[in-house]
């Protein structure tokens, strides 16, 4: 008989400032039904660990801490589970160093100084992140969530002890590698890339730190259907490369155009050189600028069409 899961409370500290609600919002917007849930005030997800499964719930704790509750099949996995959450929330970041490096920049400096402490969202499982990145190619965030939820429902292991709506693990690389291309609900070329990636993961490709990021990049690029955007995204969120930059990202292009710059890939890459070694943090500020501009455009368009727009309270 399987032992009862054990609940363990842990406080994880970080260096202030840290707009934690922004991170909760980012994760909630991408949460896969059954595997994750959350809103602007908390985040919960399933964990796949060496000795069993687990669920972690993260909230804002006392000043400068994240309050985490781990429900683990085996308490021996606690230390690894804590490190996964630390990577996910980038708790090792040094906001003062990032602000010093980026705060004087003519393009994003004002954004950095006005909103210090933004983190780079990491992930608890590099394999899952890479698989979801392929699922999300050329589709919206909501569509990517739906595809990942369908894949998880069909091929993820059920949790012995669900918490909230979190009831299953994300499918393992081995489970996905065993699928045929017709079993994955995406276009054939993307399904082929997904199955091939999963096979590489089962053969030893490691997408969690510490890893040789450049070697991993070459291995990923050798898989047909995986391009520079996906590789940079994996480097940033899975491997913890804080100098990764997504030059071809649509949000980057929109942000640069909002700032009066041409947003082409080459131009974005050249501009980003001056943000080294914190280009991944610069990217978070560009995404924020693009998001704000998109919201403003939506509001302006709604007003122009004579629709009522809610006012902030």
Cβ(205)–Cβ(177) under 8 Å? no
Positions marked catalytic: 249
Looking at the structure, tell me whether residues 215 and 256 fall in a common domain. Answer: no
Residues 6+ apart with CB under 8 A from 151: 135, 171, 176, 184, 185
Q: 164 is written with which tokens?
A: 């909230």
CA–CA distance, 205 with 177 (Å, rounded to integer): 13
Residue with tokens 């480097």: 235
Are the C-beta atoms of 223 and 196 separated by less than 8 Å? yes
User: For each of the chain's 313 residues, which pLDDT tens digit applies?
Assistant: 456 778 999 999 999 999 999 999 999 999 999 999 999 999 999 999 999 999 999 999 999 999 999 999 999 999 999 999 999 999 999 999 999 999 999 999 999 999 999 999 999 999 999 999 999 998 999 999 999 999 999 999 999 999 999 999 999 999 999 999 888 888 899 999 999 999 999 999 999 999 999 999 999 999 999 999 999 999 999 999 999 999 999 999 999 999 999 999 999 999 999 999 999 999 999 999 999 877 766 655 655 555 543 433 2
Residues 85 and 14 in one domain: yes
- Of 37, 70, 92, the last residue of a domain is 92
Which helix (H) or strand (E) is 287 found in, with range? helix 279-304
The SS3 of residue 71 is strand
**pLDDT at residue 287, as a whole number:** 96
Same domain? 65 vs 152: no
* CATH number of the domain residue 35 falls in: 3.30.310.20
pLDDT computed for residue 294 by the predictor = 73
What angle (nearest 5°) sits at the alpha carbon of residue 43, between those of residues 195 and 66?
A: 120
The pairing of strands 65-72 and 6-13 is antiparallel
In sequence order, the β-bridge partners of residue 52 are 49
Q: Quick one: 265 and 216 in the same domain?
A: no
Residue 313: the pLDDT is 28
Q: What is the pLDDT of residue 293?
A: 76
Among residues 159, 208, 171, the alpha carbon closest in space to that of 55 is found at 159
220 & 141 share domain: yes
**Domain carrying residue 275:** 250-301
Q: Give the CATH number for residue 138.
A: 1.10.340.30
Q: Dihedrals φ, ψ of 21, to 5°?
A: -60, -35
Give me the pLDDT at residue 182, please.
Answer: 86
Co-location of 134 and 213 in the same domain: yes
Number of domains in the chain: 3
According to the model, what pLDDT value does residue 5 have?
77
**Domain assignment of residue 306, yes or no:** no
Shared domain for 85 and 30, answered yes or no, is yes
Structural contact between residues 231 and 243, judged by C-beta atoms closer than 8 angstroms: no
The whole-angstrom separation of Cα 121 and Cα 160 is 28
Is the domain of 232 the same as that of 134? yes
Is residue 293 one of the residues assigned to a domain?
yes
| 271 and 186 within one domain | no
CB of 87 within 8 A of CB of 58?
A: no
Domain co-membership, 181 together with 258: no
> Looking at the structure, do residues 183 and 223 belong to the same domain, yes or no?
yes
pTM for this predicted structure: 0.92
């Amino acid at each position: 008989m399987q032992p009862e899961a054990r609940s363990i409370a842990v406080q994880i500290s970080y260096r202030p400032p840290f707009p934690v609600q922004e991170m909760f919002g980012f994760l909630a917007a991408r949460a896969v039904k059954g595997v994750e849930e959350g809103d602007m005030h908390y985040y919960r997800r399933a964990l796949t660990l060496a000795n069993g499964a687990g669920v972690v719930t993260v909230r804002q704790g006392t000043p400068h801490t994240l309050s985490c509750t781990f429900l683990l099949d085996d308490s021996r996995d606690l230390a690894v589970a804590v490190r996964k959450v630390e990577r996910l929330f980038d708790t090792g970041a040094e906001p003062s160093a990032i602000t010093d490096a980026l705060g004087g920049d003519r393009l994003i400096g004002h954004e950095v100084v006005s909103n210090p402490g933004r983190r780079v969202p990491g992930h608890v499982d590099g394999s899952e992140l890479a698989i979801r990145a392929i699922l999300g190619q050329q589709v919206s965030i909501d569509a990517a969530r739906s595809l990942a939820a369908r894949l998880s429902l069909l091929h993820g292991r059920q949790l012995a002890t669900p918490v909230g709506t979190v009831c299953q693990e994300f499918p393992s690389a081995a489970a996905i590698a065993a699928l045929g291309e017709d079993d994955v609900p995406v276009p054939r070329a993307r399904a082929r890339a997904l199955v091939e990636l999963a096979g590489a993961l089962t053969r030893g490709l490691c997408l969690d730190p510490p890893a040789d990021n450049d070697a991993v990049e070459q291995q990923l690029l050798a898989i047909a259907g995986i391009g520079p955007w996906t590789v940079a995204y994996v480097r940033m969120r899975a491997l913890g490369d804080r100098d990764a930059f997504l030059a071809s990202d649509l949000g980057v292009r929109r942000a640069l155009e909002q700032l009066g710059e041409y947003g082409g890939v080459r131009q974005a890459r050249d501009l980003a050189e001056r943000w080294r070694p914190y280009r991944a943090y610069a990217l978070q500020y560009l995404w924020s600028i693009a998001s704000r501009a998109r919201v403003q455009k939506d509001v302006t368009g709604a007003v122009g069409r004579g629709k009522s727009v809610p006012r902030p309270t």
